[in-house]
Amino acid sequence: MKKILLFIMLLAPALTFAQKDAQGGLSKGESSESNSEIYLTMSLTEYQGQINVKLDFGKVVTQIVADKMLLLDIEELRKMRFDNVIEAMNTLASYGWELEETYDVETRTGALTFLVFSKEVKRLKRLSSDKGSSPSMQSKGGKKPARK
């Protein structure tokens, strides 16, 4: 099972780039518009022979995305459950997400595999700090810095 997963991770980036060139598409460096990108990670874990696929868009994506249709797509993708990696990758491709990078993290219970996807968007909103904390502070237990 690990060999198949490793094979997919190594082959997928090469196939996505080859597919774009064969169709005559523009690479990101050749695009004429100055767009922003948003990212998601797909984490793959193996438990009792089953591959668990989880999508993570981050906490702030709903606050920075300006396109309401894209927000609806993100919420729809968050609710989806995938039976296998290929199903998840094909679904993300149908929504316009592109594979950027893959990496593994070793843990006590085994290896975790992460796939990073990106999607071009026309515009992003600036994250406001109205709530008094930034995303990095929230991940550290919500402690606020001392005021001067």
88 located within any domain: yes
- Number of domains, the chain: 1
82 located within any domain: yes
pLDDT of res. 29? 47
Asked whether 139 and 52 are in contact (CB, 8 A), the reply is no
Name the more confident of 62 and 129. 62
24 located within any domain: no
Residue 132 has pLDDT above 70, yes or no: no
Copy the structure tokens of residue 91: 């679904």
Token look-up 């793959």 returns 44
Average pLDDT over residues 119-141: 68
39 located within any domain: yes
142 located within any domain: no
Claim: this prediction has a pTM higher than 0.75: no
Give the integer Cα–Cα distance in Å for 41 and 63: 18
Burial of residue 61 (number of CB atoms within 10 Å: 0-12, 13-18, 19+): middle
pLDDT tens digits for 8-41? 665 566 555 555 444 444 444 444 456 889 999 9
Residue 104 has pLDDT above 90, yes or no: yes
127 located within any domain: no
62 located within any domain: yes
Range of the domain at 55: 2-14+35-121
Give the integer Cα–Cα distance in Å for 16 and 32: 21
